Structure 1
């Protein structure tokens, strides 16, 4: 288990000063971010509307950090992360799956095609994402096997013991709260069913303080979700899950994210950039002291747990 370590004091103060300067330069936008009723659906609607390729059926609409162990393109890395989560979930033919926070449903299409799962029900709070995802599923000819709807992760509109697997690909940090989602996932899983998540969280030893609270609010992350991997496992146990696994994939996510944001910041399309961690790897610390600090998470794990038979 790697340990990123504590961010040097001088970087902490530099980052805090940047937050203060942002507020001074544009107080109205900062207040908009920090207001009580700012919701995750607003955040992702704004992000989607900025994407000029949103309605192009030939361009994938992945929306995660990606798994870059062997991939060098954004779309390839995002698909690789979905495959890793599918492995952790042990998706297999005949499975009935609930995918929570499905984004644009790229992973659902992949899991039906590659894992041959029987059926996927998807719920998502962002209506625009649901609309676009439904269009993409229809073009793929998979509407009979993938059913997507607006719904809450903490009030899942499904019967008890309905699914073989429940998945959440890089979204559970947004749920209000993640722990309430654990309870709902346990409820809708059949005995012997499995929960699998790819999730971002604070690294071990990170200060849970005022500055993390500010950044969490701007990222639509409920502050109650800000805990490390050990607490994460304990909360899964609390809600009845057994055979819990927690696998860190930090080294194949965050160093590439450093390059991703640098290149996209130059105006390069995420679909055109190339990142090769074998040749150019800035290391975990580069992410943790900059983007990781500002985005309110710098640990990345694949979690799984089972509902007892």
Structure 2
């Protein structure tokens, strides 16, 4: 059962290797909103995103039986990097299936971390191929978000925010499959329940909004967004349940707004974040989210893994 103690154990488990990431004050956005807006810099974490947290927590709690046949995962990129990096500690081989439109930067980075990377179809095709590989090779599937050990590791982001931002009254968090916001939600509910937690999704890949409207996870097909790290076609059973229990609101953001937010992060905030990390800032720039009347706002900047060619689309 996912609870505060699960997050705290994960925090203790990974603390010798993964340091807390900084809160960066976004001065232009703070002036615009008339309140302090802090950016939680997960792009500064190992492997360039928050995903290293969950991956390391998973590996350090894995049994010898889970590791011996090798690990498998489906990823748009950041989970691949986090898992490949963490698995080296256990000398466990990793096979990653990515959609064919995955970031070339992330593909190459995962291969440099010794992962076998297979490009296959879209995200739905990639999942089907991974399930075949699990059967054929005996791999242990490490789900990118619908796994309590992964969620507990990601939830350490929430523990840090609550310690670093005592005057915060709202957190905005990007949603792909929902693992990060689920972990943050557990921390917020147990430690500061009056704080507002909002999830932000690309309108063209709003799988959590779709699940809330449908009463449970249902597959989106197709998903099509520049924010590839958020392009999960379906949220998890666990992340759906946790989000319903701990998330106050969901916001959908259009592609043009993500582009504007990317330019804000690059030119105003001076952060080279990836598009999936920009959706929370987009929600503020577009006045798309209802905030408490006072207090600081924290926006989770989930990652910064993007190659030069990809960056050019947002300059």
TM, length-normalised to structure 2: 0.35
TM, length-normalised to structure 1: 0.36
Q: Which has the larger radius of gyration?
A: 1
